[in-house]
């Protein structure tokens, strides 16, 4: 009798052990199944991006834009074909609210040019939104005109751009979002650098560094206003508080207004600009940067402005904003 009871107890214990083992095995299998499903989901998503199945321009539109977008302030000079091409391109950018063309030519814009540009804007927007296009006409031919205060400007964000520079709208919208995270900073696509040149034997003599200096060192201290976002308040500061001697120097030398604006913003914020990665398309043939002695002239501007400001406000940085959704290599 006792032998029978003992055998029954052992049988029950074995059954319990087998049941516990089976339950543990099921849990492990369920956990493994969940991990495999998650891995397949992630890989599938990444693969669709890699194979081009996801339209990036559509993914940008999924992020809601604020009520206030940005205004384009475009500098131009007797290059009507380039102006038409640029206005046609940027008119389709989602966050654009108004276009202001800085006009410094001796004659006002023709009626045919004005009608053509307004027609292009209306055509590109497909009547879904109203984009105001205006010419800011100046009597004097000066590079300072691009930073004149604009009355009635409704957006805080200004995208300063040259008429021969094209960036994809997706890049512009991303740069706008970067600017929104630092609305007092200057946020742009074209970085430049400066450094102390000790070879002159002076304590504070600075040298201007172009793109190759930035590429080699990974350091920059300016973003050029040929393609940059900044707050509209800097137009007021440049117009009313920039030293007259600096503006006269810019007008006389037809150069360095972008460096002057970089000085003004850095002096006001005590912070460096932000460089945004973007693919630049220059549709013009040549510019002042292609002329001989360009770097030397820019170096002279740097030191002249340092003397006027009483110090060097530009701050070097290595920060670069990259849209990781479309960049495999940052």
Give the pLDDT confidence of 278-301 residue by residue, as tens digits. 989 988 765 555 556 889 999 999
Tally of structural domains, the chain: 1
Residue 292's pLDDT is 63
**CATH number for the domain including 233?**
3.90.550.10
Which of 94, 214, 69, 228 has the alpha carbon at shortest distance from 155? 69
Q: Are 255 and 301 in contact (CB under 8 A)?
A: yes
Residue 139 lies in a domain: yes
Q: Residue 98 is part of which domain span?
A: 70-321
Residue 51 lies in a domain: no
Enumerate residues 6+ apart whose C-beta is below 8 A from 228: 159, 160, 186, 187, 188, 189, 190, 273
Q: Are 42 and 70 in contact (CB under 8 A)?
A: no
Task: Report the chain's C-alpha Rg in angstroms.
Answer: 29
Residue 284's pLDDT is 78
Residue 112 lies in a domain: yes
pLDDT per position as a tens digit, 238-259: 999 999 999 999 999 999 999 9
Cβ-based burial of 321 (10 A; exposed 0-12, middle 13-18, buried ≥19): middle
Residue 327 lies in a domain: no
> What are 133's two structure tokens?
């296009």
Which residues in the chain land under pLDDT 50? Answer: 1-9, 12, 15-16, 18-20, 22-24, 27, 40-67
Residue 18 lies in a domain: no
Residue 284 lies in a domain: yes
Residue 93 lies in a domain: yes
Active site residues: 258
> What are 56's two structure tokens?
């990036």
Residue 54 lies in a domain: no
């Amino acid at each position: 009798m006792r032998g029978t009871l003992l055998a029954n107890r052992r049988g029950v214990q074995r059954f319990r052990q087998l049941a516990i083992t089976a339950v543990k095995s099921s849990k492990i299998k369920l956990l493994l199944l969940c991990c495999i499903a998650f891995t397949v989901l992630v890989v599938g998503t990444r693969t669709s991006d890699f194979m081009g199945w996801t339209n990036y321009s559509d993914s940008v539109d999924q992020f809601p834009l604020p009520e206030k977008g940005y205004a384009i302030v475009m500098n131009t000079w007797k290059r009507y074909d380039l102006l038409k091409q640029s206005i046609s391109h940027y008119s389709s950018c989602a966050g654009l609210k108004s276009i202001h063309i800085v006009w410094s030519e001796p004659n006002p814009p023709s009626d045919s040019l004005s009608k053509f540009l307004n027609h292009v804007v209306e055509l590109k927007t497909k009547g879904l939104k109203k984009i105001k296009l205006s010419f800011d006409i100046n009597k004097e031919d000066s590079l300072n005109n691009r930073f004149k205060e604009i009355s009635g400007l409704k957006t805080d964000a200004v995208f300063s751009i040259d008429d021969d520079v094209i960036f994809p709208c997706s890049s512009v919208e991303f740069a706008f979002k970067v600017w929104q995270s630092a609305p007092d900073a200057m946020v742009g696509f074209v970085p430049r650098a400066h450094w102390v040149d000790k070879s002159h034997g002076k304590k504070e003599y600075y040298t201007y560094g172009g793109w190759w200096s930035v590429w080699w060192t990974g350091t920059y201290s300016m973003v050029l206003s040929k393609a940059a976002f900044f707050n509209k308040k800097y137009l007021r500061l440049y117009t009313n508080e920039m030293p007259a001697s600096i503006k006269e120097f810019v007008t006389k030398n037809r150069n360095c207004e972008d460096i002057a604006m970089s000085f003004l913003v850095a002096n006001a914020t005590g912070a460096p600009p932000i460089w945004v990665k973007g693919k630049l398309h220059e549709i013009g043939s040549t510019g002042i940067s292609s002329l001989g002695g360009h770097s030397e002239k820019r170096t002279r501007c740097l030191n002249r402005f340092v003397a006027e400001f009483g110090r060097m406000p530009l701050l070097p940085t290595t920060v670069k904003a990259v849209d990781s959704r479309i960049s495999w290599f940052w």
